[in-house]
């Protein structure tokens, strides 16, 4: 693929952060109504503009909006704060890896998976992540900032733009890109409330999965929001000792607390929880650990998703062989746990979390180093 655009990453004094413009895409219809009222506009403008924004229109394309108003909006607002910098399509399965640019010059990534039953988009919720999991590339540089609701919706609008020529749309959302969704709680909740509105993207909560490393207080709070998404819990271990080796968050919350928050979620929403388990050679992949895991999950309305680790060179952790995956899976099955192995998609395009963004940062650093010489 071609050379990447150069980004203004400078954030020094006098440099606009690019975030000053109002992000209308992240407003609810009620908020838009107030906004347009202040501009002396009738209430129906809010509905019109809401529909246009979620269809991916720019202000000048909003043909039923008066020209003067379109110009005012263009000056003060941004229709979609997210733009696509680069796409890479997998030759294996049509998976598309996306690199997006945000108004302040930060970059994030996403993955568009093309299944027979529809298109699933993997969204980022933060620029980077501060959870520090040992196997994850997203967290290597920490978290630059959380994304706004508009920046989450904007990723979907961008992907819909890519699918439009084929008469397709994004049907399912997984919050499994960079970032910890429950560490950006208010924005994620607002994003979900806007996501399902008719006349907008209209994606129901049954089509959404939220993946969390297990922030217990916010899991309990989220169970009360009446947003019954599928909860995916990144477990990755059969006990606290192993979990602490991989996930710093496990020092704050015990597995008992996390599992009890999961039970609460199942009770409140009636939905089963998915446990994600990345198999790391020599750490958590022993068949005896499968037995221990089964013991912990017994009686829960749940499903285990085994993920062969995408090895991250920076981290020095290695994945497992096919035989190890099979043995672990077989053992869970024998103990009556529902389990699948996650389909690997886009293996040829750095599909795993945080890897494309890292390559991008690496390349651009090299580029600016060469130009500096």
- Check if the beta carbon of residue 265 is closer than 8 Å to that of residue 271: yes
**Residue 68 is encoded by which pair of tokens?**
């003067």
Identify whether the C-beta of residue 331 lies closer than 8 Å to the C-beta of residue 294.
Answer: yes
- Contacting ligand SAH (CB under 6 A), which of 35, 100, 135, 360? 135
Is 151 a binder of ligand SAH (CB under 6 A)?
Answer: no
Sorted by sequence, the CB contacts under 8 Å of residue 285 that are 6+ apart come out as 279, 320, 324, 328
Reply yes or no on whether 180 is catalytic.
Answer: no
Question: Residues 6-45 vs ligand SAH: string with x where CB under 6 A?
Answer: ----------------------------------------
> In terms of CB distance, is 150 or 235 closer to ligand SAH?
235
Distance CA(363)–CA(194), nearest Å, equals 36
Least distance CB 362 / ligand SAH (angstroms) = 17
Write down the least CB distance from residue 237 to ligand SAH, Å.
11
Residues 271-300 that bind ligand SAH (CB under 6 A): 276, 278
Rule CB under 6 A: say whether 188 interacts with ligand SAH.
no
Comparing CA positions, the residue from 30, 71, 64, 39 lying closest to residue 49 is 64
**Selected binder of ligand SAH within 209, 234, 284, 289 (CB under 6 A):** 234
List beta partners, residue 112. Answer: 96, 121
User: Does 353 participate in catalysis according to the annotation?
Assistant: yes
Query: Which residues, in sequence order, are CB contacts of 295 under 8 Å at separation 6+?
Result: 238, 335
Q: Check binding of 353 to ligand SAH (CB under 6 A).
A: yes
- Which one of the spans 13-21, 72-80, 259-267, 302-310 is the region binding ligand SAH (CB under 6 A)? 302-310
**Which residue in 147, 150, 162, 312 binds ligand SAH (CB under 6 A)?**
312
Catalytic option among 109, 151, 180, 276: 109
Q: Which range of residues in 67-75, 113-121, 207-215, 220-228 is near ligand SAH by CB under 6 A?
A: 207-215
Backbone angles phi, psi at 123, to 5 degrees: -105, 150
Query: According to the binding rule CB under 6 A, does residue 180 interact with ligand SAH?
Result: yes
Tokens at residue 102, please? 């945000």
209 part of the interface to ligand SAH, by CB under 6 A? no
Instruction: State how far the Cα of 287 lies from the Cα of 53, in Å rounded to an integer.
Output: 51
* Residue in the structure block whose two tokens are 């993207």: 201
Of 73 and 312, nearer to ligand SAH (C-beta) is: 312
Shortest distance (Å) from residue 65 CB to ligand SAH: 38
Separation between Cα atoms, residue 209 and residue 228, nearest integer Å: 9
> CA 169 to CA 119: how far, in whole Å?
7
Residue 165 to residues 94, 159, 162, 168: CA-CA distances in angstroms? 15, 11, 7, 7
Question: Which of 307, 330, 320, 22 lies closest to 136, judged by CA?
Answer: 307
Of the residues 129, 158, 353, 366, only one is catalytic, namely 353
Q: Does 133 bind ligand SAH (CB under 6 A)?
A: yes
- Other residues' Cβ atoms within 10 Å of the Cβ of residue 21: 16
Residues in contact with ligand SAH, total (CB under 6 A)?
18
Q: Which of 150, 156, 158, 176 is the binder for ligand SAH (CB under 6 A)? A: 176
Residue 251 CB, shortest distance to ligand SAH, in Å, is 15
The residue among 90 and 209 lying less far from ligand SAH, judged by its C-beta, is 209
Alpha-carbon gap, residue 113 to 136, rounded angstroms:
20
DSSP 8-class letter at 146:
E
Contact residues toward ligand SAH (CB under 6 A) are: 131, 133, 135-136, 176, 180, 211-213, 234, 276, 278, 307, 309-310, 312, 352-353
The residues that are catalytic are 109, 353
């Amino acid at each position: 693929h071609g050379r990447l655009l150069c980004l203004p990453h400078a954030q020094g004094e006098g440099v606009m952060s690019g975030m000053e413009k109002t992000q209308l895409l992240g407003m609810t219809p009620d908020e838009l109504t107030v906004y347009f009222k202040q501009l002396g506009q009738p209430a129906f403008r809010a509905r019109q503009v809401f529909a246009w924004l979620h269809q991916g229109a720019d202000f000048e394309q909003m043909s039923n909006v008066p020209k003067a108003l379109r110009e005012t909006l263009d000056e003060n607002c941004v229709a979609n704060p997210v733009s696509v910098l680069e796409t890479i399509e997998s030759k294996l399965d049509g998976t598309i890896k996306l690199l997006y640019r945000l108004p302040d010059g930060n970059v994030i990534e996403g993955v568009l998976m093309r299944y027979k039953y529809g298109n699933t988009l993997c969204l980022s919720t933060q620029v980077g992540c501060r959870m520090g999991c040992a196997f994850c590339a997203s967290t290597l540089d920490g978290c630059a900032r959380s994304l706004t609701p508009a920046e989450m919706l904007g990723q979907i609008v961008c992907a819909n733009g890519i699918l439009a020529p084929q008469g397709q749309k994004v049907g399912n959302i997984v919050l499994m890109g960079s970032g910890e969704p429950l560490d950006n709680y208010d924005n994620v909740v607002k994003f979900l409330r806007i996501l399902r509105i008719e006349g907008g993207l209209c994606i129901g909560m049954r089509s959404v999965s939220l993946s969390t490393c297990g922030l217990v207080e916010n899991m309990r709070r989220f169970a009360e929001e009446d947003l019954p998404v599928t909860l995916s819990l990144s477990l990755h271990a059969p006990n606290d000792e192993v979990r602490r080796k991989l996930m710093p968050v496990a020092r704050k919350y015990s597995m008992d607390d996390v599992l009890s928050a999961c039970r609460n979620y199942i009770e409140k929403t009636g939905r089963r929880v998915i446990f994600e388990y990345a198999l790391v050679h020599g750490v958590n992949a022993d068949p005896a650990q499968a037995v221990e895991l089964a013991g912990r999950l017994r009686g829960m309305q749940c499903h285990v998703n085994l993920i062969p680790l995408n090895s991250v060179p920076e981290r020095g952790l290695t994945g497992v062989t096919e035989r190890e995956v099979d043995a672990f899976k077989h053992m869970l099955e024998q103990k009556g746990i529902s389990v699948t192995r996650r389909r690997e998609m886009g293996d040829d395009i750095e599909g795993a979390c945080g890897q494309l963004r890292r390559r991008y940062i690496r390349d651009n650093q090299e580029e600016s180093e060469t130009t500096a010489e």
